[in-house]
């Protein structure tokens, strides 16, 4: 789904015009970008969170010449999906995680008692 299709979906789902849906989507995206750009975090429960991730400077290798090059530090956006989103995409993984969770808790309690 691209941006135009998303705007059309919002318009049909909520009885809005495409122009209104487009403005709503632009406002949402602008708020996320502005907040992350300033170093903040945007969390949408059940969906995920957007935040800024700092990547340190490092040394790389030019593949064609083999020379070492310096790669500058960078600030990148990072999206972390929420549990609800993960479960919607892969229900079997969510079920495995839920089944493994109770088994892990008693072991942690035993280790804490020792």
pTM: 0.72
Q: What is the pLDDT of residue 43?
A: 96
Domain assignment present for residue 9? The answer is no
pLDDT at 107 over 70: no
Higher-pLDDT residue of 113, 48: 48
Helices (H), the chain: 3-13, 18-37, 83-89, 91-113
The secondary structure of residue 91, as a DSSP letter, is H
Considering the domain boundaries, does residue 19 fall inside one? no
SS3 67: coil
Under 8 Å CB-to-CB from 63, ≥6 apart: which residues?
A: none
In total, the chain counts a number of residues equal to 114
- Flag whether 65 is in a domain: no
pLDDT band at 97 (very low <50, low <70, confident <90, very high): confident
Expressed as residue numbers, the domain containing 88 is: 83-114
Residue 114 forms part of a structural domain: yes
104 in a structural domain: yes
Q: What is the C-alpha to C-alpha distance for residues 45 and 61, in angstroms, rounded to an integer? A: 41
Look over the chain and give the mean of its residue pLDDT values, rounded to a whole number: 89
The predicted structure's pLDDT at residue 96: 82
Q: Provide the pLDDT for residue 93.
A: 80
User: Which percentage of the chain shows pLDDT scores above 70?
Assistant: 89
What confidence tens digit (pLDDT) does each residue in 36-58 have? Answer: 999 999 999 999 999 999 999 99
Residues 80 and 34: their CA atoms lie apart, in Å, by 18
In a domain, 70, yes or no: no
13 in any annotated domain = no
As for how many domains the chain has, the answer is 1
Residue 61's pLDDT is 95
Q: Is residue 50 part of a domain?
A: no
What are the pLDDT digits (tens) for 77-96? 999 999 899 999 998 887 78
């Amino acid at each position: 789904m691209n941006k135009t299709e998303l705007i059309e979906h919002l318009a049909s789902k909520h009885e809005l015009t495409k122009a209104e849906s487009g403005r709503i989507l632009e406002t949402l995206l602008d708020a996320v970008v502005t907040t992350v750009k300033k170093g903040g975090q945007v969390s949408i429960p059940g969906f995920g969170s957007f935040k800024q991730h700092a990547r340190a400077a490092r040394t790389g290798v030019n593949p064609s010449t083999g020379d070492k090059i310096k790669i500058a530090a960078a600030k990148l956006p990072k999206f972390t999906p929420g549990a609800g989103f993960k479960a919607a995409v892969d229900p079997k993984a969510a079920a495995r995680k839920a089944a493994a969770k109770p088994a892990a808790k008693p072991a942690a309690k035993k280790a804490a008692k020792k």
